[in-house]
């Protein structure tokens, strides 16, 4: 039964237990507990209480260790209602909970955003003069902060210290974050000084809320003073600033302010390629492409060495302003250095190339992407499927793939359209291609205007293909030089 429960075969374990009873065997306490813990894990609470009742009738009441084990399993599954039911059952059995039982339940309640109930149990522990572990204080303080009750959290810190404990860094970090969220940054800063005095060694989580608060209220002198203090404490300030700006740009409305702060900090020597990358990426994300490229140009004019992220951010920016030549140049630089673009960069560049009719280059990019990344975009995979199906020259087979694309909820974008044009141009006819696009138009995947554009693109591509075949024929029959002597201009120089 134990092996079956541990391998998540509870129903089989219960079946074995039924056989166990039919054979007239008598349960031990361990028999009941194996099954009860298994039932707790899958949240079959009513069956838990049935087994507890049977255990009382056939053997004995569960002890505090058994009840604590049940609570621990239910906490791990996030079933706090089940925990409280088991707790009430323990009280009905007049089993006195010990420190471990209280600690297990209080910690679970705090993690499950039920701090008030956890605090009630904490007060029970105090009345019983139990030795309360510092972890219990930490859980309650953190939960009160999350609940917006910073005053209660501060009272608990005072209680903790009066009880002879020393607060650890995680407790202080929770309080500092809570105070900053309540716009009480000065009190948070005082707590930081306490941390330093106690030699706890603040980390990024300690100072980040204070830095954010100083920035939001435009206290840049205090901001810079804190940076200097961080430097004296030996914190990796350049790395931490990169993390700070990553946190700042997590909210769209703070991106431009983050850029302003960064420009001020660069005059004091606080700049890094990582921070530039964070801000360029964030500016592009909110549509501030010119501002993103302005920062990118600052990198080129500085002594900082661009990395793969620098070029990855630059590629979609240049695509967005229509400078595909520059976007391709940075893609080629990445290839020269052995760097692999992100899927986002690949998609941006491929779609940009498709829009200007550079279909062959775009499809080459599609193949490179699928060959280099572990999980390429579905539209790229379907583009290659379409190219393969187009070898039949049959529009119906291409339409079948398009229907599958629609069923999968995959976007039909420029890459898909370009794959159809390329494949049908090589292996199909204008008539078959028009059948495919008519189907897409029918399913509202293509506008009338785009249908006309792609039709013209297909015809133009067919003309180039025909011209290429003519030239190949002339070269094959040795007529190329004769035409040039007669002043023909249809051949490339």
On whether residue 132 sits in a domain, the answer given is no
> Among 215, 235, 255, which residue terminates a domain?
235
Instruction: Identify the residue whose tokens are 């510092």.
Output: 134
Place of tokens 């390329």: 422
Specify if 448 maps to a domain.
yes
Structure tokens at 295: 């920062």
- In a domain, residue 465? The reply is yes
Single residue among 184, 219, 235 that ends a domain in this structure: 235
Written as six digits, the tokens of 150 are: 């910073």
For 137, phi then psi, to 5°, come to -60, -45
Any domain includes 95: no
pLDDT score, position 493: 46
Q: Look at residue 283 in the predicted model and tell me its pLDDT.
A: 97
In this structure, are residues 428 and 393 in contact, taking their beta carbons and an 8 Å threshold? yes
Domain membership flag for residue 445: yes
172 within a domain of the structure (yes/no): yes
Range of the domain at 194: 168-235
For CA atoms 310, 315, 321, 323, the dihedral sign is positive
Domain boundary among the residues 194, 211, 235 is at 235
Instruction: Provide the number of structural domains found in the chain.
Output: 2
Position of tokens 């009630």?
120
Provide the sign of the torsion angle of the four alpha carbons 83, 86, 92, 94, taken in this order. Answer: negative
- The Cβ-side half-sphere exposure at 361, using a 13 Å CA radius, reads 16
The 10 Å Cβ neighbour count of residue 289 is: 17
The model carries a pTM of 0.76
Burial profile 60-91: b = 16 or more Cβ within 10 angstroms, e = fewer: eebeeebbbbbbbbbbeeebbebbbbbbebbe
Over its length of 493 residues, how does the chain's per-residue pLDDT go in tens digits? 667 767 777 777 777 766 666 666 666 667 767 777 777 676 676 776 676 677 766 666 777 887 888 788 888 888 888 889 889 888 888 888 889 999 999 999 999 989 999 999 999 999 998 888 888 999 999 999 999 899 999 999 999 988 888 889 999 999 999 999 999 999 999 999 999 999 888 999 999 999 999 999 999 999 999 999 999 999 999 999 999 999 999 999 999 999 999 999 998 889 999 999 999 999 999 999 999 999 999 998 888 999 999 999 999 999 999 999 999 999 999 999 999 999 999 999 999 999 888 888 999 999 999 999 988 899 999 999 999 999 988 889 989 998 898 888 888 888 998 998 888 888 878 888 888 888 888 888 778 887 888 788 888 877 776 665 454 544 544 545 554 554 544 444 4
b vs e for 293-326, b when ≥16 Cβ sit within 10 Å of the residue's Cβ? bebbeebeeeebebebbbbbbbbbbbbbeeebeb
Report if residue 108 sits inside a domain. Answer: no
Q: How many residues does the chain have?
A: 493
Q: Name, in order, each residue with C-beta under 8 angstroms of 2's C-beta and a sequence gap of 6 or more.
A: 34
Question: Would residue 396 count as lying in a domain?
Answer: yes
pLDDT of residue 106: 94
């Amino acid at each position: 039964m134990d092996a079956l429960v541990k391998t998540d075969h509870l129903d089989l374990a219960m079946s074995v237990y039924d056989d166990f009873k039919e054979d007239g065997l008598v349960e031990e306490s361990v028999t009941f507990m194996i099954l009860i813990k298994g039932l707790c894990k899958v949240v079959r609470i009513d069956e838990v209480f049935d087994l507890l009742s049977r255990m009382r009738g056939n053997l004995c009441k569960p002890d505090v260790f058994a009840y604590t084990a049940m609570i621990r399993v239910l906490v791990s599954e996030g079933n706090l209602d089940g925990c409280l039911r088991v707790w009430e059952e323990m009280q009905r059995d007049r089993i006195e909970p010990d420190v471990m039982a209280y600690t297990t339940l209080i910690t679970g309640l705090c993690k499950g955003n039920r701090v008030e109930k956890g605090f009630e149990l904490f007060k029970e522990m105090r009345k019983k003069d139990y030795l309360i572990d510092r972890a219990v204080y930490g859980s309650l303080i953190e939960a009160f902060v999350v609940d917006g009750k910073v005053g209660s959290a501060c009272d608990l810190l005072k209680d903790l210290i009066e009880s002879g404990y020393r607060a650890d860094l995680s407790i202080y970090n929770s309080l500092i974050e809570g105070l900053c969220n309540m716009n009480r940054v000065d009190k948070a800063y005082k707590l930081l000084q306490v941390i330093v005095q106690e030699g706890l060694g603040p980390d990024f989580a300690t100072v980040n809320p204070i830095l954010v608060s100083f920035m939001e209220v435009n206290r840049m002198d205090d901001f810079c003073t804190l940076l200097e203090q961080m430097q004296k404490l030996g914190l990796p300030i350049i790395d931490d600033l990169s993390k700070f700006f990553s946190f700042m740009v997590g909210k769209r409305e703070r991106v431009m302010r983050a850029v302003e702060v960064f420009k001020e900090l660069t005059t004091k020597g606080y700049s890094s390629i990582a921070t530039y990358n964070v801000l360029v990426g964030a500016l592009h994300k909110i549509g501030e492409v010119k501002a993103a490229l302005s920062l990118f140009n600052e990198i080129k004019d500085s002594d900082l060495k661009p990395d793969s992220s620098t070029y990855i951010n630059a590629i979609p920016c240049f695509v967005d302003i229509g400078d595909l030549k520059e976007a391709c140049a940075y893609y080629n630089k990445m290839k020269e250095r052995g760097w692999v673009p992100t899927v986002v960069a690949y998609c941006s560049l491929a779609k940009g190339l498709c829009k200007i009719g550079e279909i062959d280059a775009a499809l080459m990019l599609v193949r490179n992407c699928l060959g280099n990344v572990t999980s390429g975009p579905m539209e790229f995979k379907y583009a290659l499927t379409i190219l393969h199906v187009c070898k039949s020259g049959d529009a119906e087979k291409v339409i079948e793939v398009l229907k599958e694309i629609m069923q999968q909820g995959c976007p039909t974008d420029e890459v898909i359209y370009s794959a159809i044009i390329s494949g049908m141009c090589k292996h199909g006819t204008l008539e078959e291609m028009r059948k495919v696009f008519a189907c897409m138009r029918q399913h509202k995947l293509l506008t009338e205007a785009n249908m006309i554009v792609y039709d013209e693109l297909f015809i133009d591509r067919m003309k180039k293909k025909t011209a290429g075949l003519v030239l190949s024929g002339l070269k094959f029959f040795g007529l190329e030089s004769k035409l040039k002597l007669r002043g023909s201009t249809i051949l490339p120089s």
